[in-house]
Amino acid sequence: MLTADMPESLARRKLRIAVVGDAMLDGWLCGGSTRLCREAPAPVVEIDSVANRPGGAANTAANLAALGAEAVLVAVTGADLDGVRIRRELDAAGVRTDTLLVEHGRRTLSKRRVVAGDQLIARFDEGDSGDVQPCTGHALVGVLREVVPRCDAVLVCDYGAGTLTTEVRAELERLRPRIPLLAADAHDLSRWASVRPDVVTPNAAEAAALVGRLGSVEDRAAQLRTATGARTVVVTLDRDGAVLLPSDGPAHRTWARPAPESQAAGAGDTFVAALTLAMAGGLPTTAVVEFAQAAADVVVSRPGTSVCTTAQLTDRLGGFQAAALDHDQLAAAVRTHRAAGRRIVFTNGCFDVLHRGHIAYLNQAKRLGDVLVVAVNDDQSVRRLKGPERPVNSASDRVAVLAALSCVDHVTTFGADTTAELIERLRPDVYAKGGDYTPEMLPETPVVRSCGGEVRILDYLPDRSTSAVIERIRGRVGAQ
């Protein structure tokens, strides 16, 4: 599970991570618009603020520094004002820039957006995206030889903008045995298959381009690992979260906090930065992607290109500790969701010792709608159901663990023997239950159907019950 002390714990370790790739400048020209221009039906935007931020690999490095890592950027800019702006922003962010090379005659790549109010009006791109000059490529190889062996991880950001030439990729392949963790975020990950990354992060379109859209999840996951040379694949889905496809376990889905598309710029950089940091820090892979998703959720709540700091991520994760809503608060939240046209899914259980079966079933429940509400038995009702030795974990702890899952939107507790009264008040579209039940076995079914909802029985993983987990623990303790 994710806990609020994880960001601080990782920050204290000061992991050294090299970001190698295409740096660019993100510019934001913001203002108001109240009229159209005479020449064409185009809005006239009266600019009242201009912001320049690191973009691409530079933003990824800035995010790593904000999360407490010792970030080293190996990249190239032009000898121009935009290049100076990138370096100035990175110096202020605490990123090491003595490894940031300057190529004379090259124009720094920039992406500038015009925003009227909250609406993105246009984006215009400038700069050179062809391969760097051979002499610059040789200099990059020299920097890699100096920097890479001293790092805890290397993160490749390859957006096809000319930094990662054949010579640079060959040098990283040669240095691969000396890289403890190699992550790659690239538009064309097939270019990196021979380097054998530990983890890659294609978006949905990039993944489909590599393996197509046909076949089972398991088949496509295996094809992705073969095509990219990676042991672990994390497919990012923009505002819909991400899917972890490890080589040694089941797929795991995360769910993103809803945000306007105009506020999603740079969230992918934050995601891959946090993912690399968490993986270098030794977190389990499911915790790694949840950690990365939480960091991305922080930045999409703010306009422009921004970073997620250790303090902000701690606050985000710490909010889970008090995440339980009382029934009045929950009813108000559900009314808001329903007014926005969202489909409400409701489920309940003890969730005493959260295990793989719970995670699979909660993710499956989330896919049945837009908002997942989980009602947790309070401590007294667990004792009535399971016996005097249960629960193992208190209701507040169980709520905090569940709320830390990105698939769960709201958590509440209840003390009755059934959730029929709560269901009647919330009137969910779907009541989901995991296990070897039939709808007729559930006391909530008549109430759900009378409210116009449907009952769905989800997949059951044998030998993945809480009781079985507790018995295995007791058996091992008794054998010692």
Active-site residues: which are they?
269
Strands of the sheet with 119-126, listed across from one edge: 43-56, 23-36, 110-116, 119-126
State how far the Cα of 288 lies from the Cα of 123, in Å rounded to an integer: 33
- According to DSSP, the β-strands at 119-126 and 110-116 are antiparallel
Omega before 388 cis (within 30°)? no
Q: Which residue, 226, 296, 311, 223, is CA-closest to 263?
A: 296
